[in-house]
Amino acid sequence: MAQAVGNVAQSETQWLDPVEREMWLSLVGLTILLPGAVEAQLKRDAGISFFEYHVLAMLSEAENRTRLMSDLAHWANSSLSRLSHVVTRLEKQGWVRREACPTDGRATNAVLTDEGFRHLAAHAPAHVTEVRRLVFDQLSESDVASIAAGLGRILEGIDPDRRRAAN
């Protein structure tokens, strides 16, 4: 009789092989260590968190530097509640403002201000340099393409609506 772990019998479990285990441990290590490494540079140089930088960057890429708060939450991989708190902090800095959506009175837009864009532009070069140093300098072009494809499939499995919402 198979020993049960949770609701899955151990004999039915397809355990990770050594290569899968190594990849999994590397992915876990990356998800734990990379955000802190990137955040340290952003806090030191720009005075903002990694998430705040990402929100500003996602606004900077939008048409008219404006996104619906719900769309911005998607692009920032965030809950609307967490995003709202961060946008409030960014508003206090004068980098973002909220305004009513002209096409939907129930919705709110987040807008990257000129001051916010200047702050982002001033600190983007150092951020990109750090991202290159931490990530891309370790990889070949084919590594980057393979990892991008693999991570895309993982994200698709976690959030199947992600790709549809991005289009």
Residue ranges of domains in the chain: 45-134
Lowest-pLDDT range of 10-14, 18-22, 80-84, 138-142: 10-14
Mean pLDDT of 116-122: 97
Q: What percentage of residues in the chain have a pLDDT greater than 70?
A: 90
Lowest-pLDDT range of 38-47, 57-66, 153-162: 153-162
Confidence of residue 163 (pLDDT cuts 50, 70, 90): low
DSSP string for residues in the chain: -PPEETTEEGGG--PPPHHHHHHHHHHHHHHHHHHHHHHHHHHHHHSS-HHHHHHHHHHHTSGGGEEEHHHHHHHTT--HHHHHHHHHHHHHHTSEEEEEETTEEEEEEEEE-HHHHHHHHHHHHHHHHHHHHHTGGG--HHHHHHHHHHHHHHHHHH-TTHHHHH-
Confidence of residue 69 (pLDDT cuts 50, 70, 90): very high
Confidence of residue 161 (pLDDT cuts 50, 70, 90): confident
Write the CATH number of the domain with boundaries 45-134.
1.10.10.10
Mean pLDDT, rounded, of the chain: 91
